[in-house]
């Protein structure tokens, strides 16, 4: 299947690449929230966060931390968002896993979603829902 990020990695499509190593590639987002908005991708194709093997994820996370620091410092940003959209409903538009690094400046924050409030007992219900599945998957977490 055609993937724009694989094409960028294979140099079949152009991008403003800022860093790469054996495992990851970082380049500027073509439609930045702020200038310098950077994407970090694994060189291998994985659809989303849940399908990236742990050792690869460790490398991507490590690189993202490093690059976020560099982006912040180089642009004199006040802060940054690290975002990963997973699934169409979450806003994912390129189905090759990536972290967004978005440099932020004083008073430019407009990403805050509308928040909900739990009705009485509902928070505990949601806790139970998540914990009941969690107990089935614990072995995966423990390796
Ligand atoms: P997401 O919507 O979280 O999947 O993020 C995909 C991001 O990739 C969007 O912010 C796009 O602007 C960006 N994007 C799409 N095509 C390109 C491209 N050819 N070069 C750089 N960034 C791109
Ligand atoms: Zn890909």
Residues above pLDDT 90, as percent of the chain: 87
Across 57-86, average pLDDT: 97
Which residues is 134 bridged to in the sheet? none
User: Would residue 98 show up in a list of annotated catalytic residues for this protein?
Assistant: yes
Q: Among residues 78, 51, 66, which one has the least CA distance to residue 20?
A: 66
> Of the residues 37, 96, 98, 100, which is catalytic?
98
Cα–Cα distance between 32 and 134 in angstroms, integer? 36
Interval between CA 78 and ligand 1 midpoint (Å) = 23
The pLDDT confidence band at residue 138, using thresholds 50, 70 and 90, is: confident
Q: CB atoms < 10 A from the CB of 26, how many?
A: 26
pLDDT at 110: 76
Cα–Cα distance between 128 and 32 in angstroms, integer? 39
Which residues, by Cβ under 5 Å, contact ligand 2, an ion?
3, 5-6, 45, 96
The per-residue pLDDT of the chain, averaged, comes to 95
The secondary structure of 18-68 as a DSSP string is EEE-SSEEEEE-SS-SSTT-EEEEESS--SSGGGS-HHHHHHHHHHHHHHH
Query: Which tens digit of pLDDT belongs to each residue from 103-118?
Result: 999 988 877 788 999 9
Across 108-132, average pLDDT: 91
Across 84-107, average pLDDT: 97
Interval between CA 47 and ligand 2 midpoint (Å) = 7
Judge if the beta carbon of residue 33 lies within 6 A of ligand 1. no
Q: Tell whether the model's pLDDT for residue 74 goes beyond 80.
A: yes
Judge if the beta carbon of residue 30 lies within 6 A of ligand 1. yes
The pLDDT confidence band at residue 119, using thresholds 50, 70 and 90, is: very high
Across 90-108, average pLDDT: 96
Nearest atom of ligand 1 to the alpha carbon of 28: 21
Task: Please report where in the chains the tokens 């994912």 appear, as a residue.
Answer: 92
The secondary structure of 63-107 as a DSSP string is HHHHHHHHHHHHHT-SEEEEE---SGGGT--S-S--EEEEEE-TT
- pTM of this structure: 0.94
Nearest atom of ligand 1 to the alpha carbon of 94: 4
Judge if the beta carbon of residue 82 lies within 6 A of ligand 1. no
């Amino acid at each position: 299947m055609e993937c724009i990020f694989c094409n960028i990695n294979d140099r079949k499509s152009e991008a403003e690449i800022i860093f790469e190593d054996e495992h990851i590639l970082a380049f500027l987002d073509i439609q930045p929230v702020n200038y310098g908005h950077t994407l970090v991708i694994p060189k291998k194709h994985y659809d989303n966060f849940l399908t990236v093997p742990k050792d690869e994820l460790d490398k991507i996370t490590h690189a993202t931390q490093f690059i976020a620091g560099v982006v912040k410092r180089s642009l004199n940003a006040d802060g940054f968002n690290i975002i990963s959209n997973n699934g169409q409903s979450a806003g994912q538009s390129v189905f090759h896993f990536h972290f967004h690094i978005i440099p932020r400046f004083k008073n430019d924050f407009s990403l805050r979603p509308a928040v909900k409030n739990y009705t009485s007992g509902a928070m505990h219900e949601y806790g139970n829902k998540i914990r009941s599945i969690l107990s089935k998957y614990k072995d995966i977490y423990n390796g």
